[in-house]
Structure 1
């Protein structure tokens, strides 16, 4: 069931020596030493203290959309979107000892499905999403790192998935509790929620009418996540990286939102840097979030595509995780691979028990990120918006100070159900969503505005 990681190292070095031997050099010529393999570099550096890697196995999703992996299709409730399309899955939560190659099964779903494990800061427990055999719904569970102490965190006929621990031990996750459907497809929408460690006090922390995906905590405490956003623009082009505070406040573009195409997903910080690693899934995205592992340097701002550097070409990977700027682990079909910053790879593990490998994470302690205190008053029906200067924007060339007197405030109405991949049930070759006018607010002479809007609603503004 396992493949020796040390065999992979020997093969890599052996191939390098062969290429030198047959390159025409005589025996008297000095030979260049083969560069160290990614595994040798990792074991001597960022993976010195890493003994085990946690991962999941499961069947592939049949729908090609990156998000269509939960629930059922609205035109046929017997047609399932989750892994295996309703067939018994081969879901397991496992850990791999990278020194010995031994694999331990922490939880066998026995026909059910497991996804999205994340290791706690103390490396003693793991939170994950689990759909039991016979159920249509994923809920959050936690288990000890030795496979003991399984406990359920959330419940109900919703899909709760992609959980992460927060530095205050609460949990951010994605959920279909919002009860809305994709505006341009026939599957359900999941957006970000937050709960206590025991599953209590569940709060919606995103108003997005479309999908949020793969939240992760940045060192400064903000949440980095994928947001699909296509209000009055193409539905297949804008699924990029955003940030927010853990309480849902201060949502902001992180990278890519002005440039069409590419799903930027599974983004995580690179330790010791301000950079992130993400899967850049081509076009409108691929199933299982498959893409090119890409490093993004944020100092160039959210719109400069030169800030993104792909690490490799060819075969797509999934779920990249950085241990350093030169050491990454990822899933690739049925394999866990180790990759360096030049795209060189070693196979750490090749699974042979059915299904593919997903979400590899090191089972090791890590530092807690900064805690950002809550600033949201959950008992209030409105939220306050502050606009510093309406004239500071990407598309404001030629607009003079004093030209803008008001902002038109609109709300996007999420769809409670949708039966088409196009806008035809709502408009003819037009918008995919209905928009409601909430009113207008004045803009001051200096370009600022301060006003209230209904809380937890997806709103946008027209100057």
Structure 2
């Protein structure tokens, strides 16, 4: 008979054959065989279970080992860490009374009325041991001067920001505000950040700045002075429907005296620090004729603001996804010891200073992409806003090219619930928690120890008896990254001044065509300061008025621009000089060995020849262009032929109908070079010969004789089109006077 199938009946001692019975002896042998098979099966299962648990255990050991930083490395040769308790402001901070909405933006985190109450300046003791403790530096500190004289800073209702430690490790700089969050959007002494200093033991608390402007991000300079960010420059952001002041680099003496603006850049700057060569590195929103969400890159300048230059990624490549998966903001730049590299945060544009930790290597040739940048925190998921990155890291401090102190939130929580702690990390993704506070974020870790002071970069100054203007030297205008059109001969440099915005809302007034693309679209008003000659070898040498934000254009013999800056430059009063090798020259190339000294340098500096056209400074369409249309054009283009070039009634944009109708005939940066370009995403590099008058539909017709314009009249159209934005208004105020063709001077220049 066939061998029966057996089943064990739960709760019974015997066996049954399915479908019949068997003899007792056969049953006994079968039971013995079954028990042996069952024992082997259980033994095999036990072996498998042991192996699985062993593998899990080994895996856990490896994970723990991989997750911890080697704190025995010699770079951890300190035991105390200075840090600040500072909570990022929530994204539901309240409704903007001007616009009816709330907003997260890179700028707002530094307005004192957004400061979340609570926090302070602290020191973590025995940072790498099991016996950690925390000292509140300001626990018993009473201010020795100013408005807070005899008082303590309120750690319950005030907010603290951005500490920095002196080179000898004895004094702390930081910013503080009374916060006054019930006064959102109000600028006064109690709603703005001010800078203080205090000894490491809490004595000598001194107020250094005060007033109705925000002062923050203080940093010790090697000469003992202080560089910081301040709203003292004046002006407002150009893409906000709310009050957003500009703030830029400023310096002062260690006692708060001699507060001096060293950056006349027309938009915002952040987070200065000093690199190993004594230079100031910081972040700039480079926004002249660029998209609003253009990446804000690292910049470098001298301690007195001389010759500011981008470090990397200021001209991101074009293409369908040209602004994707790139750092939109390179924030919190700090030098890495014994290295030319910098550590930084890749932060979002619409958000606060959190994101991925990156290494920026300026020694690598910038490919307008990511050649200079390495993300050492891939667990963050990429770059915030431009990719899939989250806001997990902040405020790095480099100990070496491998090890760093950072603020970190491993839980990937929203900005509302974020609680960053102080961590040690390495460039392989390992991390060790050193300290956290479940009630508030901890940021800006700095080792408490003396550190080597960088060299003191010589502060430049004009020679005795020099005019108040500075001197600009250009070695060779033809030395450019992108080639000039074949046969180009440059005869002049045209110097444009861009004016900071003096009205707070983005499209009030609508300055130029881009203003119609969005409520947040805005361009600078501007004016032609004039021209200076360029020698046959491409050199120029000229005086430049101090404390004015300018850009340069290379102009051909026919009076049209061939190349143009999409950034700005300036000379700070008393600075002396500004030197340029070329016109967007390759950053890592030096002048050829043996090249003759530029011809222009053999003579006295040129004085700027003012532009003769009425309405060129500031550039005003009603004053510059409309008179020519009235005298030469409307006899044909007076309603019977397209375009109609009569003034007509003022449109809803605040413009003449002639200006509205000329739009298809001008060149705009937001309509060329890159797919899907618009006011927000504009390819930032000017290609020689492919912009302005030369690229427009209007100028070639006029230059060919259409309209029978005089040379002076043709020149008016050339500079209007070469301006890059073909503006209507030349100043943000007094629009009614401008509509009447009156000269209106800029309020802030």
Query: Which segment drifts farther, 186-195 or 377-386?
Result: 377-386
Over 3 Å counting, the alpha-carbon distance change for 1:380 and 1:318 in structure 2 is farther
Q: Is it true that 1:246 corresponds to 2:275 in the alignment?
A: no
Residue 435 of structure 2 corresponds to 349
Distance 2:158 2:303 in 1: 31
CA distance in 2, matches of 1:312, 1:70: 25
Give the Å deviation of 1:445.
1.1
CA distance in 2, matches of 1:239, 1:449: 30
Match of 2:290 among 233, 240, 243: 233
**Deviation of residue 36 (structure 1)?**
6.6
Match of 1:418 in 2: 504
Q: Does 1:142 align with 2:228?
A: no
Does the Cα contact within 8 Å between 1:275 and 1:297 map onto a contact in 2?
yes
Matched ranges for 1:41-440 at <5 A: 41-48=70-77, 50-61=78-89, 62=91, 63-71=103-111, 80=113, 82-84=114-116, 89-97=117-125, 98=127, 99=129, 100-107=131-138, 109-132=155-178, 135-185=190-240, 186-259=243-316, 260=323, 262-282=328-348, 284-287=349-352, 289-303=353-367, 305-313=370-378, 314=380, 315=390, 316-332=392-408, 333-352=419-438, 354-377=439-462, 381-400=468-487, 403-420=489-506, 425-430=510-515, 431-440=522-531
User: Any conservation in 2 of the 1:92–1:109 contact (CA below 8 Å)?
Assistant: yes
Q: Which has the higher strand share?
A: 1
Displacement of 1:434 after TM fit?
0.5
| Larger Rg over CA atoms | 2
Gaps spanning 5+ residues in structure 2: where?
Answer: 1-50, 92-102, 139-153, 181-189, 317-322, 381-389, 409-418, 516-521, 555-749
Q: Deviations over 1:352-381 (max 9, x none)?
A: 2x3322212111111111111111349953
Aligned length: 423
Give unpaired runs (5+ residues) of structure 1.
1-17, 73-79
CA contact (8 A) 1:334 1:350 kept: yes
- Which residue number in structure 2 is paired with residue 13 of structure 1? none
- Whether contact under 8 Å (2:365, 2:371) holds in the other structure is no
CA distance, structure 2, for counterparts of residue 117 and residue 309 of structure 1: 26
1:162 to partner: Cα distance: 0.5
> More displaced, 448-457 or 62-71?
62-71
Q: How much does 1:387 deviate?
A: 1.1
> Whole-Å Cα distance in 1 between the matches of residues 164 and 67 of structure 2?
27
Q: Distance in 2 between matches of 1:434 and 1:33?
A: 58
Question: Shift of residue 55 of structure 1?
Answer: 1.2
Deviation at 1:37, TM superposition (A): 5.5
CA 1:34 to 1:138, structure 2 compared with 1: closer, same or farther past 3 Å? closer
Which stretch shows the higher mean deviation, 164-173 or 254-263?
254-263
Q: Is the 2:115–2:177 Cα contact (8 Å) retained in structure 1?
A: no
Distance in 2 (alpha carbons) for counterparts of 1:418 and 1:116? 27
Give the superposed CA RMSD.
2.6
Stretch of structure 1 that moved more, 151-160 or 404-413: 151-160
Q: Deviations over 1:37-72 (max 9, x none)?
A: 654x23432012x11111112232244211212448
Residue of structure 2 in register with 1:3 after alignment: none
For 2:363, what is the secondary structure of its paired residue? helix
Using structure 1 for the length normalisation, give the TM-score.
0.85
Contact 2:276 2:338 in 1 (8 A): no
Identify if the C-alpha distance between structure 1 residues 102 and 395 changes in structure 2 by more than 3 Å, giving closer, same or farther: same
Quote the Cα distance in structure 2 between the aligned partners of 1:372 and 1:364: 23
Per the TM alignment, residue 395 of structure 1 is displaced from its structure 2 partner at its CA by 2.7
For the Cα contact (< 8 Å) 2:272–2:280, is it kept in 1? yes
Contact 1:60 1:355 in 2 (8 A): no
Q: Confirm or deny: 8 A CA contact 2:282 2:331 kept in the other structure.
A: yes
1:285 CA displacement: 4.8
C-alpha distance in 1 between matches for 2:216 and 2:448: 20
String of CA shifts for 1:276-313, please: whole Å, max 9, x gaps. 1011114x2531x1121001111113445222110012
Distance 1:399 1:161 in 2: 49
Q: Distance in 2 between matches of 1:118 and 1:383?
A: 33
Q: What's the secondary structure of 2:196's corresponding residue?
A: strand
Shift of 1:383: 1.8
Q: In the alignment, is the contact (CA less than 8 A) between 2:179 and 2:192 conserved in 1?
A: no
Measured after TM superposition, the shift of residue 169 of structure 1 is 0.4
How far the C-alpha of 1:214 sits from its partner, in A, is 0.6
- Distance verdict in 2 for CA 1:399–1:132, change over 3 Å: farther
TM-score norm. by structure 2 comes to: 0.54
Kindly indicate whether the alpha-carbon contact (under 8 Å) linking 1:320 and 1:330 is maintained by their aligned counterparts in 2.
yes
